[in-house]
Structure 1
Amino acid sequence: MMKKWMMIMVFCMSAKSLLAQHLSIGPTAGFGHGWLTTSDTENRTKTLFHPTYNVGAKLVYSIMSNWGVSADVLFSSEGGTRGIDNNTKSSVRINYIRVPLQAIYFFGKYGDKIRPKISIGPSFGFLVSATQKDYVNGTKTNDESVKQQLNSVDVGLNAAVGANIRLCKSTWLNSDITYYNGFTNQAKIGNLKQRGIGLNIGVLFPLGD
């Protein structure tokens, strides 16, 4: 009986050690440009630059040398801006707690200093707040919360290309150029879908080393 318990303990400790060797975690932050698509064919305004940003943490599990999966937990500020020009426009700022889940393919070998990669997977956004600001000829004419006009969950697809650069043993600089395509309608009335491109940078540290 004692021998069986010893074998179970050894197995559990070995499994924990193996799992830790393949797990990395660290901070991540990014910035980019977001926009909202609409089915309103009468809308004569154009999409303007709308800065977006996110900050949070990333967890990566390497299944094998070339494959991995990741999960992020981010505070993500998104939305979009439309208008005639930068002086006459309407800007909607939508803040989410966003959770992207990614399947990752790493090029090259584990010992390489630079590992190019591609990734794709679903992204889930949970609404925190939303405000709309309107400007006419440079003067703010409206500033109000529009959270009640939006659905509480946003779901879409996130795709990225990037590279991991080894800083030291098992510690990596993580960089990604990302594209987000929202699938769900954000507006309770009308049709709004989130889009976005951006750059994310982070550092991954091993768990268990």
Structure 2
Amino acid sequence: MKQLFFSAMLLITGSQIATAQTGWNIGDRAAFGHSWTVGNTPEGAKRQFHPTFELGRAATYNFSDRAGVGFGTYFSSQGASFKDEDTDNRLIAGANYIKIPVFASFNFGDAEQRVRPRLTIGPSVQFLVGGKSFIKTDEDAFAGRYTTKAMNTKIDVGGNASLGVNIRVFDGFYLNHEINYYHGFVEQKPNNNSETPTFTNRGLTMSLGMQINSAAMKKWKGKMKMHHKGHED
């Protein structure tokens, strides 16, 4: 009888956890890393570390505790940096985008696990909204050009993939730690009568994000309403 009781309790608990992970999840994400371009390295120059960051919000609809689909909207600062081997001058090309990825999300392991591996993959479109390119010496930085004026191509389309862990803080609230890779497919054409070659964008970042399930959000709002009502009484 006791074994039957404990088995029933485990089934009920597992069902509650699985239910808590289905439906809409909404959360914020911040990422930092390195971006670079392929196809336009100046002659006699070497590629340098170019800091990139992304900040925004994503929504995911989980069909089950293992799989879902989602989309996001991020502000993304990208570009590339090069160093001339003869003069030590640095060419810094920055590009700011509004990035909209669409992705499939997969969680591995059992729903009862607090920490689970997570994979997302899908396409992305991004729109050029700013940035600046300039040459920097040891003494000063020369005036450059705004990227929106320097580029003929204003849209980039690529693929995103991320691998990391999904951490359940409590039912309905999760933290995501991930390594993210972006691979641009569209040739970016400068506005300089073909003096500078075309290129494609790349990026590798580490991100920290959080997501809250719609059921958990409703539960939290209900508690806040009850707390406010208690103070009024």
Q: TM-score, normalised by structure 2?
A: 0.76
Alpha-carbon separation, structure 2, partners of 1:74 and 1:98: 5
Tell whether the 8 Å contact from 1:135 to 1:142 is kept in structure 2 after alignment: no
- Tell me the SS of whatever aligns to 2:56: strand
Letter in 1 for 2:129: V
Contact 2:165 2:178 in 1 (8 A): yes
Task: Give the Å deviation of 1:148.
Answer: 2.2
Normalized per residue, which structure has more strand?
Answer: 1
Give 1:137 shift.
3.7
> The residue matched to 1:35 in structure 2 has which SS?
strand
Q: Is the 8 A contact 1:29 1:200 kept in 2?
A: yes
Q: Point out where structure 1 has 5 or more consecutive residues left out of the alignment.
A: 1-17
Structure 1 residue 39: deviation in Å? Answer: 5.2
Paired AA for residue 81 in structure 2 = T
For 2:148, the equivalent position in structure 1 comes to 147
Pairing of 1:53-64 with structure 2 (within 5 A): 53-64=53-64
Give CA deviations for 1:125-162 in whole Å, capped at 9, x if unaligned: 11111210211344212332131232111111111111
Q: Deviations over 1:96-128 (max 9, x none)?
A: 000111112211122210110122111111111
8 Å contact 2:94–2:147 — kept in the other structure?
Answer: no
Alignment partners' CA distance in 2, 1:185 and 1:23: 35
Unaligned runs of 5+ in 2: 1-18, 217-233
The question of 1:165 aligning with 2:167 is answered yes
Pairwise CA RMSD = 2.2
* Selected match of 2:212 from 177, 189, 205: 205
TM-score (norm 1): 0.84
Q: Is the 8 A contact 1:87 1:138 kept in 2?
A: no
- TM alignment of 1:46-125, pairs within 5 A: 46-84=46-84, 87-125=88-126
Once the two structures are superposed, residues 11-37 of structure 1 have per-residue CA deviations (whole angstroms, 9 ceiling, x without a partner) of xxxxxxx9x951110111110000011
Please identify which structure carries the higher helix content. 2
Instruction: Indicate the percent of aligned positions where both proteins have the same amino acid.
Output: 29
Instruction: Provide the secondary structure at the position in 2 that maps to 1:142.
Output: coil
From 167, 178, 203, the equivalent of 1:196 is 203
Which residue identity does 1:118 align to in structure 2?
L
Whichever residue aligns with residue 200 of structure 1, its letter is S
Runs of 4+ in 1 over 4 A off after TM superposition: none
